Structure 1
Amino acid sequence: MELRELRYFWTVAEEKNFSRAAKVLHITQPTLSRQIKEFEEKLGVPLFIREKKQLSLTDEVYFLKERATQILTLAAQTEREFEEQSKGFLSGHFSIGCVEADNSDTMAMMLEELVRDYPKVTFNIVSGTSDDISDKLEKGILDLAILLEPLNAPDFEKIILPRAEKWGLLVSNASSIAQKTAIYPDDLEGIPLLISNRSEVQSMLEIWRNKPLTTLKIVGTFNLIFNVFSLVENRTGSALTIEGATTNIQQGKLTFIPLAPRLKTNCVLVFKKKRIQTPLVREVIKRFNDAFKA
């Protein structure tokens, strides 16, 4: 399987039209059609469902498109990295993932300083869940990531960021517990709750309570807190989360109440161990190290 074949397939899948894809690829439509037909013959499966003027993927090849995206991204990244190193000066592009957390502004500050010092540097910020970002970092699609502990990531090195993230309960202002100044373990009994679907977070909460979560009334789980704001507002459940992920809530409708005893976790910059980093990524890591490494 050649990169050229994957690029042709991926472009047609994105454009959903041979004519538009051919223009993007700067080749003729008959050439593109022939290449796709030969690729289909090589794989032994049809790649597209042809309906009127639009194409769609067959069920069998959605995986191929996802894998093609990863391979083409890595190929482009490798070309950029080789070019950067051959030039011998700091320029180029890198990607960093970031979860919902208060320390996202720490990342912004570091990127601002980096681009100011090296105007030819560009970057891509990828937001998502810890699991999604960790997976992309593991596969080499991301160079760096800002994640929230607790983590089960033995293959990653980490730099702890300055502000610890405070855990608490996000509640509707109409809730009977909205006036509390702290939430103790027993306060959670009988309350409809929304919690993270990450097993590491659930284990941490069980240690904090000194009881299994099965004793609680958990009505749902989530991976991104943004998706449950309306559920909290409408009192479907109160959400156990970090304060830094609630900065964009609509004031006057929801309240964040810290847990007691205090429960705090760190945000960390992580990168893959033993990976040969580009000069640009090494510079980013060095700046975080100089600023925050204990």
Structure 2
Amino acid sequence: METRILHYFLTIARLGTISAAARELHVAQPTLSRQIQQLEAQLEIPLFTREHHQMKLTKAGLTYQLHVQQILTELDNANQLVKNSNNNELTGPINIGCVESSVTTQLSPALVDFQRAHPSVIIDMHDADGNTIKERLDRGLLEIGVVSTPINTAKYHALPLSIRDRWGVALPATDPMAKRPNIQVSDLAGRPLIIPHRSLVKTALNDWLQPIAPLHIVGEYNLLTNSFYLAAAGLGLLVCIEGVTLPATSQLTFVPFTPAHHLQHVLIWRQGVPLSGPAQALIDTLKTKYKS
């Protein structure tokens, strides 16, 4: 099967009509329709339903879309590896997934130095939580992940980073606790809380928030940005880490817990999968930096 047809399929799935896909691909509509019909005939299952000129993915089409995207990404990576195999110059993107924390601030100088040393490399950053980063690594959509504990990294190569963040609470500046240097777990008794929804994080939180069990949970989040504004509007106190910059317009104040609770950061990449030249070179650079 030609990959051209797979690109046709993905474009129609994204745009929702044959006409729009034909314009973007610069292919005649009858040709495009015929190619998709041939693809469905080869697979012996419909990938789209046709309603009023709209093309909607069937259940099989949704499954096929997910795997085709992964296959084409892997193929692009393989093509890039081959192109660079006899070339000493590093070129192309490094797809990095990174959690929201102080790790971005502390890693950024190293990434900037690396890109300046290799100007043909593109640093392609993706913000996500740890679970999403692992899923995108597994699908070949990312080469490197920067995640935070607690997280299961057993099936990945892992490089611990000497970067830690403190847990605490972001709360409106008008709250009496905002003026304290720190907050004890018992201070949260009866207060509405917004917490991370990652299961491993919730388990860890439950372990050291037990003195106020049961917790009064009013919200959960994966990325913090929107949760800041929910906390500022009065939904609840936001349990988060210190390393995330609070928006000035939110008028929130971060107060750390006492005794202190920290999370660590880990650089991960897949085992048994060749990396692109730029990704491997960046990992080698960071290994030297953090192992020293």
- How far 1:26 sits from its partner (Å)? 4.6
Could you say which residue in structure 2 is the equivalent of 1:45?
46
Counterpart residue type for residue 279 of structure 1: G
- How far 1:212 sits from its partner (Å)? 7.5
Q: Work out the number of aligned pairs and report it.
A: 291
Counterpart residue type for residue 260 of structure 2: R
- How far 1:46 sits from its partner (Å)? 4.7
Change (3 A) 1:38 1:92: same
Could you say which residue in structure 2 is the equivalent of 1:225?
224
Counterpart residue type for residue 203 of structure 1: T
Normalised by the length of structure 1, the TM-score is 0.90
Determine if contact 2:194/2:220 at 8 Å carries over to the other structure. Answer: yes
- What are the ranges of 5 or more consecutive residues in structure 2 without an aligned counterpart? none
Change (3 A) 1:41 1:231: same
Distance in 2 between the 1:257 and 1:50 partners?
55
Change (3 A) 1:188 1:73: same
Change (3 A) 1:118 1:251: same
Could you say which residue in structure 2 is the equivalent of 1:168?
168
SS in 1 for 2:163: coil
SS in 2 for 1:163: strand
Determine if contact 2:94/2:123 at 8 Å carries over to the other structure. Answer: yes
SS in 2 for 1:162: strand
Which range moves more in the overlay, 31-40 or 13-22? 13-22
- How far 1:251 sits from its partner (Å)? 5.4
- How far 1:163 sits from its partner (Å)? 2.8
Which range moves more in the overlay, 260-269 or 61-70? 61-70
Could you say which residue in structure 1 is the equivalent of 2:238?
239
- 2:21 matches 1:21: yes
Determine if contact 1:101/1:165 at 8 Å carries over to the other structure. Answer: yes
Change (3 A) 1:141 1:50: same
SS in 1 for 2:111: helix
- How far 1:49 sits from its partner (Å)? 2.7
Change (3 A) 1:48 1:124: farther
Could you say which residue in structure 2 is the equivalent of 1:260?
258
When the two chains are superposed, the root-mean-square deviation of aligned CA atoms in Å is: 2.2
- How far 1:147 sits from its partner (Å)? 0.8
Distance in 1 between the 2:177 and 2:117 partners?
49
Counterpart residue type for residue 38 of structure 1: Q
- How far 1:269 sits from its partner (Å)? 1.5
- 2:39 matches 1:33: no
> What aligned pairs does 1:4-15 form with structure 2 within 5 A after superposition?
4-15=4-15
SS in 1 for 2:178: coil
Could you say which residue in structure 2 is the equivalent of 1:156?
156
- What are the ranges of 5 or more consecutive residues in structure 1 without an aligned counterpart? none
Distance in 2 between the 1:127 and 1:55 partners?
31
Report % sequence identity. Answer: 30
SS in 1 for 2:183: coil
Could you say which residue in structure 1 is the equivalent of 2:215?
216
Change (3 A) 1:179 1:212: closer
Distance in 2 between the 1:41 and 1:280 partners?
40
> What aligned pairs does 1:70-219 form with structure 2 within 5 A after superposition?
70-209=70-209, 211=210, 214-219=213-218
Which range moves more in the overlay, 153-162 or 230-239? 153-162
Counterpart residue type for residue 215 of structure 2: L
